[in-house]
């Protein structure tokens, strides 16, 4: 039995197909047809049978709003079962050549350690599945380039939060750190799900890389502020701490 919403999504004919291939140094090649909706949702392929660790109640996030009445499987875990799980017997530092071809036929290629390529699947699972927490970030990531590094992902998100808060640094800082904390919990719970079902460390370290991004994003805030000031000519408000501390108790959620 699949998640009811996943069934509905996979029947959507308005999908944009992206072909992702991974070429290993010994000649092995893996390929995925990454189907995305026009709103940025990942249409994961239907599996004949999902692994037990993908069930919703297995290492479920404590704040997860999903009910087992409607979702038999965790959307993020189910996504990983159809993508990242193919790398379960590989090691994280195997060098691979990965290429993605978008619907317009444009190709992007990288030569990276496998864990860096695998983190792309983790991004899809958390930010582009039906995970209700990750969905808050979906509209922010639609224009992120393929194979973005952790640093690029951090800078991209910080810039979006600054736009949301019209350059008010402390508001943007507190908002992004509040929203990233549950994302770190998701990465931790996904790691626990996969821990007992792997022969190599590529899956685990693909998740660890994204967890490091969530942990270290605050380190890039000041650097991005300087870039925004020079590129957009903004007068960023970084010193009005009284206003920031007095009014940032609630942040408007992004609409997924």
Q: Which residue has the higher pLDDT, 218 or 123?
A: 123
Cα–Cα dist 242/240, whole Å? 6
Percent residues over pLDDT 70 in the chain: 81
Cα–Cα dist 32/20, whole Å? 5
Cα–Cα dist 241/224, whole Å? 19
Cα–Cα dist 255/176, whole Å? 15
pLDDT at residue 229, as a whole number: 63
15 strand-pairing partners:
37
Q: Which residue has the higher pLDDT, 19 or 227?
A: 19
Cα–Cα dist 110/91, whole Å? 18
Q: pLDDT tens-digit profile of 123-152?
A: 999 999 999 999 999 989 988 999 999 888
Burial 99-112 (b: 16+ CB within 10 A, else e): bbbeeeeeeeeeeb
Cα–Cα dist 190/121, whole Å? 12
pLDDT at residue 10, as a whole number: 43
pLDDT at residue 234, as a whole number: 58
> Average pLDDT of 150-163?
88
Which residues make Cβ contacts (< 8 Å) with residue 80, sequence separation at least 6? Answer: 54, 121, 122, 125, 190, 194, 203
- Tell me which residue of 26, 25, 44, 24 sits closest to 34, measured CA to CA: 44
What are the tokens at 233? 């000519």
What are the tokens at 222? 């000041």
pLDDT at residue 117, as a whole number: 97
pLDDT at residue 220, as a whole number: 77
pLDDT at residue 4, as a whole number: 40
By CB neighbour count within 10 A (0-12 exposed, 13-18 middle, 19+ buried), where does 13 fall? Answer: exposed
Q: What is the band of 82 on the pLDDT scale with cuts at 50, 70, 90?
A: very high
According to DSSP, residue 55 is labeled B
> Average pLDDT of 162-190?
90
> Cα-Cα-Cα-Cα dihedral of 236, 237, 238, 243, to 10°?
-160
């Amino acid at each position: 039995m699949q998640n009811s919403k996943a069934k509905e999504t996979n029947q959507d004919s308005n999908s944009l197909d992206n072909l992702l291939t991974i070429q290993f140094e010994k000649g092995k090649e893996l390929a995925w047809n990454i189907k995305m909706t026009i709103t940025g949702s990942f249409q994961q392929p239907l599996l004949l049978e999902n692994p037990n660790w993908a069930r919703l109640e297995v290492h479920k996030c404590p704040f997860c709003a999903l009910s087992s009445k409607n979702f038999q499987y965790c959307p993020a875990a189910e996504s990983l079962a159809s993508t990242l799980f193919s790398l379960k017997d590989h090691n994280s530092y195997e060098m691979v050549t990965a290429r993605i071809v978008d619907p317009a036929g444009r190709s992007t290629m990288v030569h990276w350690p496998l864990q860096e390529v695998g983190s792309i699947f983790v991004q899809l699972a958390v930010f582009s599945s039906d995970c209700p927490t990750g969905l808050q970030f979906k509209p922010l990531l639609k224009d992120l380039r393929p194979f973005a590094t952790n640093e690029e992902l951090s800078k991209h998100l910080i810039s979006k939060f600054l736009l949301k808060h019209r350059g008010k640094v402390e508001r943007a800082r507190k908002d992004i750190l509040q929203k990233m904390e549950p994302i770190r919990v998701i990465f931790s719970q996904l790691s626990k799900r996969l821990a007992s079902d792997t022969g190599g460390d590529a899956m685990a370290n693909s998740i660890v890389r994204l967890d490091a991004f969530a942990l270290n994003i605050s380190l890039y805030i000041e650097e991005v502020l300087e870039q925004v000031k020079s590129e957009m000519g903004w007068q960023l408000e970084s010193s009005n701490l009284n206003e920031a501390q007095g009014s940032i108790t609630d942040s408007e959620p992004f609409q997924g």
